[in-house]
Amino acid sequence: MVGKMRRLGRIVKNGKTLIVPMDHGISKPIRGLEDIDGVLRRIDGVVDAVVLHKGVVKRSKFVAEMEMGLIIHLSASTCLVDPNDKRIVTSVEKAIELGADAVSIHVNIGSKTEGRQIEEAGRIAELCDSWGMPLLAMIYPRGEGINEKDPEMVKHAVRVGYEIGADIVKTNYTGDPETFAEVIDVAEIPVVVAGGSKTDELKLLKDVRDAILAGAIGVAIGRNVFQHKNPELIAKALRMIIHDGADVEDVKGVLYEGSLALS
């Protein structure tokens, strides 16, 4: 597993990680991803890794030279029929060809197609082991009548990732550090929290700080970075909390000074 350990080291630094997923465009065109290379240039050197689909990587004029780790997302769906029905649209081998440091998959437990998604995830985990490729499993409780932040459901999501053989699991923050600590304890696997919809930046930073204190190793936050008026600035604030152990009060000053510089 030397290959997997070396690749993980490009994404997880000193046991912590700041990942920015930018795979949202396949679900529907979304603000902030019109110029992906432009965003990548701004956050490179601040963020540990980004998540992209294969087509974006193939056409990028910057990915080949960026310092950040590259995670190729294997799953996709659109908003037009059933967004919870994730399908595998590329392979571990293709990700290797494109120079990926890891791959990611998306599984929605509680969805109508949960069984097939878990089956595919299990097979991909085995392929990742064979190739020495780290697997980030984005697993969420999603389906009719399901509370996506219910601690028991989030625990279940993390346990599924552990059982299928993922190397890192991304899931929802429960909104409370005590219950999220219980989520962390459910399985011996690193957990990163999702950012979700665009939200108030101070609330975001507080939730990230609480999640880290509860035992998360970092975050995988997309819209709250690439839709921010200054993606580099919010990425720096997140990095201070995740890698430097800064408090939100410490980071507020950085955000304020950065906002003044923009005005």
Q: Among candidates 127, 240, 263, which has minimal Cα distance to 254?
A: 240
Report the pLDDT value the prediction gives residue 1, as an integer from 0 to 100.
77
CA separation for the pair 243, 13 (Å, rounded): 8
Are 124 and 135 in contact by the 8 Å Cβ rule? The answer is yes
Q: Which two tokens stand for residue 253?
A: 């000053």
103 CB-side CA count, 13 A: 27
Q: Which residues on adjacent β-strands are paired with residue 171?
A: 193
Catalytic residue of the set 86, 101, 140, 149: 140
Catalytic residue of the set 16, 23, 54, 236: 23
Known active-site residue 23 = yes
Catalytic residue of the set 16, 54, 170, 236: 170
CATH topology of domain 2-262: TIM Barrel (3.20.20)
Average pLDDT per 10 consecutive residues for the chain, totaling 263 residues: 93 97 95 96 97 98 97 97 96 98 98 97 98 98 94 98 98 97 96 89 94 98 95 95 93 71 42
Known active-site residue 35 = no
CA separation for the pair 96, 16 (Å, rounded): 24
pTM: 0.95
Q: Among candidates 197, 255, 258, which has minimal Cα distance to 226?
A: 197
Residue ranges of domains in the chain: 2-262
Q: Which two tokens stand for residue 17?
A: 């990680």
Q: Pairing mode, if any, of strands 75-76 and 87-88?
A: antiparallel
Q: Among candidates 118, 57, 133, which has minimal Cα distance to 86?
A: 118
Report the pLDDT value the prediction gives residue 2, as an integer from 0 to 100.
93
Q: Among candidates 169, 207, 216, 226, which has minimal Cα distance to 21?
A: 226
Known active-site residue 207 = no
Report the pLDDT value the prediction gives residue 262, as an integer from 0 to 100.
44
